[in-house]
Amino acid sequence: MKPRLPSKPDPLAEDRLPDRPVKGRGAVSNPTGRYEPTVRERVDDGWGLPPEEETRPDTRVIEDTSRTVIARNNSPDVGFDRSINPYRGCEHGCIYCFARPTHAFLGLSPGLDFETRILVKPDAAKLLEQELAKPGYRPAVIAMGTNTDPYQPLEKKLRITRSILEVLSKCNHPVGIVTKSALIQRDIDLLAPMAKLGLASATVSLTTLDPKLSRVMEPRAASPARRLETIRALSKAGIPTGVLVAPMIPALNDRELEKLLEAAAEAGARTAGYVLLRLPLEIKDLFEEWLEAHFPGRAKHILSLVRSMRDGKLYQAEFGLRMTGSGPYADLLAKRFRLAASRYGFTRRDWQFNTSLFRPPVPQGGQFRLL
C-alpha cells in the first residue's frame, strides 16, 4: 500500500534549493523523480539566491501506512531472503546510498528529499507480530539495515527499531543488523542475550578513518572513531560483529582498505566484507554533481576509474558484478581485500544463526498453536 503523502505543496520546492553543498546534507540538489510527468529546471532570474538559512532543508517525518513490514527478495548477491526497513529515506545523507532511487516511487526526489522526507512505520512492531503469527510462516534470519539505516538519527526519538527487536527477542527470531550508527549500543541489552542463543549479529559500516572525509561522504552518520568504539562495545558484549568497508570509491577512499580492516580487527570485528561503489539510476548524476562540488580536481579521474571497473559504464546491474565490478582495477581491489582479510584474521563466518528456538507470537485476541 502506498504511504500517505502530504497533500499540501512541499516547502522544499526545487526552485528554492541552490546547486551547491548544503551544510549537514549529502546531495547537492533535489532533482525531479524519474516517474514525474514534468521536470523542473531552475534558471537565474537575476535576483540572486535566497539566504542560506532560508534554503537549508529541515527533516520532515511522513507516516508510512504500509500493511506489511517484512520485505522479500531473491537476489543471489545477498545472504538473506527477507528484511525489515523501519524507515524509508535516511538522514545520514550518504551521497552514494543505493536506496536513493526508491524515493522516486513515492513521487519524491532521490536527492535532498531522500535525506529530509523520511517515511516512518510507527506500527512496525504490531505488523511484525501479525506476520510472524501466520500459520505458514517459517523462520529465517531477518536482515535490518540493508536499504536504509535502522539507527539513523530519528530512531533515538521514535524507537521503532527498538520495538521490532523486542518482538524478535520475545519470539526467539534471528536478526542480522547493518548500521553505521553508534546508537545500536543502546540495544545491547536486547542483542547480547539473543546473541548467546545464536539469534543476533551486527555489522558496522566503516568507509574511512578520516573524519573530514567522513563528514563529506556521510554528513549525519557517526564519526569513524565512534564506529570503531561501537565495534568494540558490541564485540565485548558477545555479539558476533563484522565490518563492511563500503563503498570503495577509486581514488577517494579505496587507498584506506587495508587500514580500515586493520582498525576493525583491532576493535574486535570477526568478519569483513566490501562493496564497490554502486551508481544505479539517479545516483549517477547525484554522485557526479557531488564530486564536482567537493572534489572538482579529482572528479574526472574518479569517474574514469569507475567506468574502468564497470565495463565502460558508471554502473553494472548484473548479479555477481554489481557488488564487485570487473576489469583490472576491480580485480586488484578484490585481491587486496582477500590478502588483508587473511592477514588480519577475518573469517567468512564462524557461527550460525539458530532458527530452532522460534516461537510465534500470539496476536491480540488470538490463541496459541497446538503444534
Number of domains in the chain: 1
pLDDT digits (tens, 9 = 90+) for 241-288: 999 999 999 999 999 999 999 999 999 999 999 999 999 999 999 999
- Is the model's pLDDT at 16 over the cut of 90? no
Cell reading at 148: 536504509
Any domain includes 3 = no
Who's near 6: CB < 8 A, 6+ residues apart?
62
Is residue 46 situated within a structural domain?
A: no
In a domain, 263, yes or no: yes
Note the helical H segments in the chain.
52-55, 112-116, 124-132, 155-158, 160-171, 188-196, 211-217, 224-236, 257-267, 283-294, 299-308, 328-343
> Whole-angstrom Cα distance, residue 180 to residue 97?
12
pTM of this prediction?
Answer: 0.88
Task: Give the residue from 172, 183, 228 showing the smallest Cα distance to 205.
Answer: 228
Is residue 365 situated within a structural domain? no
Tell me the residue range of the domain where 77 lies. Answer: 24-34+54-343
Does some domain include residue 114?
yes
CATH number at residue 249: 3.80.30.30
Among 123, 57, 50, which residue's Cα sits nearest to residue 86? 123
Give me the mean pLDDT over the 45-74 stretch: 77
Q: Which three-class secondary structure string do you get for 80-99?
A: CCEEECCEECCCCCCCCCCC
The answer as to whether 39 is a domain residue is no
pLDDT tens, 221-246?
Answer: 999 999 999 999 999 999 999 999 99
Residues 6+ apart with CB under 8 A from 292: 299
254: left (phi over 0), alpha (psi -120 to 50) or beta: alpha
Residue 238: inside a domain, yes or no?
Answer: yes
Residue 247 included in any domain: yes
